[in-house]
Amino acid sequence: MSKMMKFAGCVALILGTVYAVVMALDASSMDAQAQKADADTPAAPVKKPPRPKPAVAKKPPAKPKPPEAAEEQAAPAESPAPSSVEAAAQAQPKIPLYAQHALQAGAQTCAPIVNHLGNIAADTDYGVQSVWNREEPNQHMFWQLLGMHYKGRPGLDKASSILIAAPVTPQSCEGVLVQVIPSSRSCGAIEESLSKEGGKPVDILGGVHNLLSVRGERVMLLPSGRSCVIVSMTGAQSQPTSQ
């Protein structure tokens, strides 16, 4: 009986030892599988925190230009003030074309007379043609043809004049201006107007009325139907100049 109990105790001891060994092996095997699973599973990537972007300095908005500055830029540049020489040249009166012809021709002695009579004739738009002695212009007659075109003058349209100037001495000159002016007015109406201005009748030459105007002109009135042709004559003489 004791032997049987000892045998059963030995068997139980052996079985307990085997069971302990088996359990230990199973535990180590499970640990190895867990480690292997951990090794096979890839590690989750570590996210790096984003780098902060460098701050970009913003340009300040452009300030609108004030209206005064814009107007100053748009305004045209002022032209420089003329020099004293240019101002003097602009201040001098321009020589009329009929007087220029006399000076350019070389008729210096009669140039003042031509200028005086030309001022009487050319009181409107005009054109001029001159004739003179090309060899000795200052010792011979100088004469001009003038054509006039009246604008805005009631009763007047076109007219013509003849200007003649001749040296009397090397220092003096005489001249005459003859004007032919057609008018739509009647000769009676023109004579009445001249009389109201101070004109005086002189003689009737061959039925043609002749008057002396207040300006010293000799005026003849030539009837032409219901209109009239005014023919006037003016003389001028220069004073001798001392040498």
pLDDT in tens, 41-79: 444 444 444 555 544 445 555 554 544 433 333 333 444
151: confidence class by pLDDT, cuts 50, 70, 90: confident
Q: For 115-140, what is the mean pLDDT?
A: 94
| Spatial contact of 145 and 162, defined as CB atoms under 8 Å apart | yes
Asked if the model's pLDDT at residue 231 lies above 90, the reply is yes
Q: For 150-178, what is the mean pLDDT?
A: 93
With tokens 């090309």, the residue in question is: 134
Sheet with 227-237, strands from edge to edge, namely: 125-131, 142-149, 158-169, 172-183, 227-237, 218-224, 208-212, 200-205
The pLDDT > 90 percentage for the chain reads 51
Mean pLDDT over the full length of the chain: 76
**Per-residue exposure over 44-70, b if at least 16 CB sit within 10 Å of its own CB, e if not:** eeeeeeeeeeeeeeeeeeeeeeeeeee
| Spatial contact of 203 and 215, defined as CB atoms under 8 Å apart | no
| Spatial contact of 111 and 102, defined as CB atoms under 8 Å apart | yes
Spatial distance between the Cα atoms of 179 and 123, rounded to a whole number of angstroms: 12
pLDDT at 176: 97
Residue (of 220, 221, 216, 183) closest to 116 by Cα position? 216
Asked if the model's pLDDT at residue 38 lies above 80, the reply is no
Locate all alpha helices (DSSP H) within 92-235, ordered by sequence.
Answer: 97-105, 111-121, 187-196
Single pTM value for the model? 0.60
Q: Which residue has the higher pLDDT, 79 or 206?
A: 206
For 170-205, how does the pLDDT look when each residue is reduced to its tens digit (9 = 90+)? 999 999 999 999 999 999 999 999 999 999 999 889
